[in-house]
């Protein structure tokens, strides 16, 4: 008898059966060798069958992917700490590209570009593993961009409407509020049907923490995914981060839902791509960027789309962020991104220092979808605001050197100052669609002309509660996405006029 109580004859019978069923034959496994490694890039030889972007396994469980294929060697970018990898280390190909987890288990989580938790929570219970590089939807699979993404920011929703499936670039100098616009947009989706994905590329850890804390305090954390490749992460992780974010967001788009992705920012992503290209000895081009940097961002942003009804009608909206130097929009990366996207929101450092926030440059900003995706009632009341504000900015420049004598010019200047005060908006003070329509309708009717900028700010703060307390027939029409009749507009303006009269009387009592 054996130790487990079985007869020796039974043990030999079972072993014989396993031996008979075992298939014997030659097997071959390709094993490469690290020739040299430096700056998180390894030169690997002995793997002639490896494909571009294939995932590689190094000794010690480290991973990387093939970035360039030369005649004798492969330049592999490491995705983990390369301190343990030395010349002579063994490398194996996997036959697979880099894949990341997708699914609803990612909602509310903070992960790295490989889907590994960074928030101290349990491992992600993924519904599937999808490749980070996926083809963009074909033209025949797309539908018209016709529904708005409500940002809650008056200057954006009224003048540069963002549609579901659009790619709108947020661009400006350092510290002009680019991330603030994106975060406010995410915060405004807390009661909407849009899933938000925030991708941090090369950002300081403290800056990323502030973004996450802001969304936790003001938005819906459980409807967001955070993909973080901070400045301390390896260049490989920073390079794949935007692709990872798109793959995670496409999971929801492909199931008929709506998603929003913010990439903060693509300027640092382009710098990482340039760094890796120079380390792998690719020929440099303009500003030392490799020639494929345009294709890199084009194939990434083309994945944002509104799908046709046959494919579920889902959408993926992209808000990439880019940084300029001294407002130079003609630099290489800004011009590339402007030509790829469907419009840009340009932030001006001079407006920011003048305390005009959001510091949106109305003259340089544009949305190439615009009114096609704007709420019909908002389009109805915002038509003349941009023209009036642009004329005011030109008049303001010319009147700095002398007084104003013409009554018409004085009226234009007064209207422009009210528009400026109305478009100024504090962070996390997002406006509902009905609030925006009411404000612009009252502006067009001249109801706000007698208010000071301070009273305008107070009116905007108290407007939501006042409209809820004094409902009109316009409320139902706005909720149903319809235009407003003249009588409905008049009722809405009358409500705002009553609130303005209360503020004016309160200000008069305070003076007396």
15, 20, 25, 31 alpha-carbon torsion, rounded to 10°: -30
Q: How far apart are CA 338 and CA 344, in angstroms?
A: 7
Query: Among 430, 502, 421, 431, which residue's Cα sits nearest to residue 456?
Result: 421
Terminal-to-terminal C-alpha distance of the chain? 108
Query: What CA–CA distance (Å, rounded) separates 361 from 386?
Result: 11
Task: Give CA torsion, residues 94, 97, 100, 103, to 10 deg.
Answer: -110
DSSP-assigned letter for residue 370: G
163 is in an annotated binding site: no
Say which of 90, 368, 386, 432 is annotated catalytic: 368
pTM value is: 0.91
What pLDDT was estimated at residue 510?
65
Strand order of the β-sheet with 110-111 is: 110-111, 224-229, 194-201, 258-264, 315-323, 169-172, 343-347, 366-367
Tokens 């038509």, located at residue: 383
Q: Is 173 annotated as a binding residue?
A: yes
Closest CA to 289 of 337, 245, 327: 337
Map residue 281 onto helix, strand or coil: coil
Q: Which two tokens stand for residue 266?
A: 């693509």
Measured CA to CA, the distance from residue 503 to residue 451 in angstroms comes to 8
Catalytic site residue 253?
no
Element (H, E) at 129: strand 128-131
Question: What does the pLDDT read at residue 2?
Answer: 45
Place of tokens 């850890």: 205
Q: In this predicted structure, what is the pLDDT of residue 153?
A: 95
**CATH of segment(s) 380-511:** 1.20.150.20
Q: Which of 371, 481, 463, 430 is nearest to 185 (CA)?
A: 430
Secondary structure, 3-state, 58-118 = EHHHCEEEEEEECCCEEEEEECCCCCCCCCCCEEEEEEEECEEEECHHHCCCEECCCCCEC
Q: Which parts of 364-470 are beta strand (E)?
A: 366-367
E strand or H helix at 231, and its extent? Answer: none
CATH number for the region 31-97 comes to 2.40.30.20
Domain 100-374: which topology? Rossmann fold (3.40.50)
Q: What is the pLDDT of residue 200?
A: 97
**What does the DSSP assignment read for 150-187?**
--S-HHHHHHS--BTT-B-EEEESTTSSHHHHHHHHHH
Would you state the pLDDT for residue 156?
A: 94
Give the whole-angstrom CA distance, residue 41 versus residue 276: 8
Residues 6+ apart with CB under 8 A from 238: 113, 201, 202, 229, 268, 269, 272
Q: For every one of its 512 residues, what pLDDT tens digit does the chain have, with 9 covering 90 and above? A: 445 555 555 544 555 566 566 666 666 677 889 999 988 899 999 888 899 889 999 988 889 999 999 888 999 999 987 777 888 889 999 989 999 999 999 999 999 999 999 999 999 999 999 999 999 999 999 999 999 999 999 999 999 999 999 999 999 999 999 999 999 999 999 999 999 999 999 999 999 999 999 999 999 999 999 999 999 999 999 999 999 999 999 999 999 999 999 999 899 999 999 999 999 989 999 999 999 999 999 999 999 999 999 999 999 999 999 999 989 999 999 999 999 999 999 999 999 998 889 999 998 999 988 778 899 999 999 888 888 888 888 888 777 766 666 778 888 888 888 899 899 999 998 999 999 999 999 998 888 888 888 888 889 889 999 999 988 888 889 988 889 999 999 999 999 999 988 887 776 666 65
Strands (E), 221-362: 224-229, 258-264, 315-323, 343-347
Q: Where are the domains of the chain?
A: 31-97, 100-374, 380-511
For the chain, count helices (H), then strands (E): 16, 16
Cα–Cα distance between 89 and 78 in angstroms, integer? Answer: 13
User: 178 a known binding residue?
Assistant: yes
Residue pair 75/40 in contact (Cβ under 8 Å)? The answer is no
């Amino acid at each position: 008898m054996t130790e487990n109580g079985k007869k020796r004859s039974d043990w030999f019978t079972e072993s014989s059966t396993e031996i008979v069923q075992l298939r014997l034959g030659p097997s071959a496994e390709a094993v490469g060798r690290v020739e040299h490694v430096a700056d998180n890039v390894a030169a690997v030889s002995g793997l002639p069958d490896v494909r571009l972007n294939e995932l590689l396994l190094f000794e010690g469980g480290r991973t990387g992917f093939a970035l360039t294929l030369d005649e004798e060697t492969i330049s592999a970018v490491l995705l983990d700490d390369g301190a343990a990898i030395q010349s002579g280390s063994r490398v194996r190909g996997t036959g697979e590209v880099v894949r990341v987890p997708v699914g609803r288990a990612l909602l509310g989580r903070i992960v790295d570009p490989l889907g590994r938790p960074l928030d101290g929570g349990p491992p992600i219970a993924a519904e599937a593993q999808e490749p980070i590089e996926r083809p963009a939807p074909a033209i025949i699979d797309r539908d018209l961009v016709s529904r708005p993404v409500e940002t809650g920011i008056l200057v954006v929703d009224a003048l540069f409407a963002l549609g579901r499936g659009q790619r709108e670039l947020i661009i400006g100098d350092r510290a002009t509020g680019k991330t603030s616009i994106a975060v406010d947009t995410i915060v405004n989706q807390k009661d909407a049907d849009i899933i938000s994905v925030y991708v941090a590329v090369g950002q300081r850890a403290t800056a990323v923490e502030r973004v996450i804390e802001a969304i936790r305090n003001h938005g819906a954390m459980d409807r967001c995914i955070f993909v973080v490749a901070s400045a301390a992460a390896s260049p490989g992780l920073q390079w794949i981060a935007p692709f990872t974010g798109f793959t995670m967001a496409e999971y929801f788009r492909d199931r008929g839902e709506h998603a929003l992705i913010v990439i903060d920012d693509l300027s640092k992503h382009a710098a990482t791509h340039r760094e890796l290209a120079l380390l792998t000895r690719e020929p440099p081009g303009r500003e030392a960027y490799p020639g494929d940097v345009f294709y890199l961002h084009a194939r990434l942003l083309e994945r944002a789309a509104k799908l046709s009804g046959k494919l579920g009608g889902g959408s993926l909206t992209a808000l990439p962020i880019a940084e300029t130097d001294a407002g130079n929009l003609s630099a290489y990366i800004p011009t590339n991104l402007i030509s790829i996207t469907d419009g840009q929101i340009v932030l001006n450092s001079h407006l920011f220092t003048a305390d005009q926030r959001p510091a949106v440059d109305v003259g340089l900003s544009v949305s190439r979808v615009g009114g096609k995706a704007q709420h019909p009632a908002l389009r109805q009341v915002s038509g003349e605001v941009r023209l009036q504000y642009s004329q005011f900015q030109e008049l303001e420049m010319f009147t700095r050197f002398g007084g104003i004598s013409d009554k018409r010019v004085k009226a234009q200047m007064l209207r422009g100052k009210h528009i400026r005060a109305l478009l100024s908006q504090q962070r996390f003070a997002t406006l509902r669609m009905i609030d925006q329509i009411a404000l612009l309708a009252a502006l067009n009717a001249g109801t706000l002309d007698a208010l000071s900028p301070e009273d305008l700010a107070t009116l905007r703060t108290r407007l939501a509660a006042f409209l809820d307390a004094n409902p009109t027939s316009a409320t139902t029409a706005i909720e149903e996405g319809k235009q407003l009749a003249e009588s409905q507009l008049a009722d809405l303006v009358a409500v705002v006029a009553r609130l303005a009269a209360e503020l004016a009387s309160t200000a008069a009592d305070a003076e007396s």
